[in-house]
């Protein structure tokens, strides 16, 4: 993936029922609609989802806003039960730490930790 190319999203469902959205590359306004399309149905049903940012090289405020909105969406106002994976030292972990997003959505160092949080 070349610098400046939009990132990719891979969606899987764990045997335990949680969704895993693995983002890779750069995610910004160019990919936020695709992230919304994947997260909205999960949030509307109030299901659990892990957003794995381990392979993300850039993430902007549009994507972070979508994650928070997904957390709040849904019939009961609860939205998705989200957990973010952002290994220490990576770009996403630095951004999430600066914005203190961990106060709103759980942030974990590994996918296994995030899945175990549900």
CATH class of 8-116: alpha beta
pLDDT at residue 74, rounded to an integer: 53
Give the span between the Cα atoms of 94 and 100, in whole angstroms: 10
Give the span between the Cα atoms of 66 and 61, in whole angstroms: 8
Per-residue pLDDT of 54-110, as tens digits, reads: 999 999 999 999 998 888 775 455 667 899 999 999 999 999 999 999 998 999 999
pLDDT at residue 6, rounded to an integer: 77
> What's the pTM?
0.89
- CB crowding 101-111: b at 16 or more within 10 Å, else e: beebbbbbeeb
Taking the domains of the chain in order of start, what are their residue ranges? 8-116
β partners of residue 25: 56
CB atoms within 10 A of CB 3: 8
> For 74, which DSSP code?
S
């Amino acid at each position: 993936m070349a610098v400046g190319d939009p990132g990719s999203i891979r969606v899987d469902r764990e045997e335990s029922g949680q969704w895993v959205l693995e983002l890779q590359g750069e995610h910004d306004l160019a990919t936020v609609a695709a992230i919304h399309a994947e997260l909205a149905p999960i949030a509307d049903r109030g299901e659990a989802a892990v957003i794995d940012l381990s392979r993300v090289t850039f993430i902007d405020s549009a994507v972070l806003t979508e994650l928070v909105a997904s957390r709040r969406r849904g019939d009961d106002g609860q939205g998705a039960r989200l957990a973010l994976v952002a290994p220490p030292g990576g770009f996403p972990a630095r951004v999430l730490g600066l914005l203190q997003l961990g106060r709103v959505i759980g942030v974990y160092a590994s996918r296994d930790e995030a899945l175990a949080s549900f």
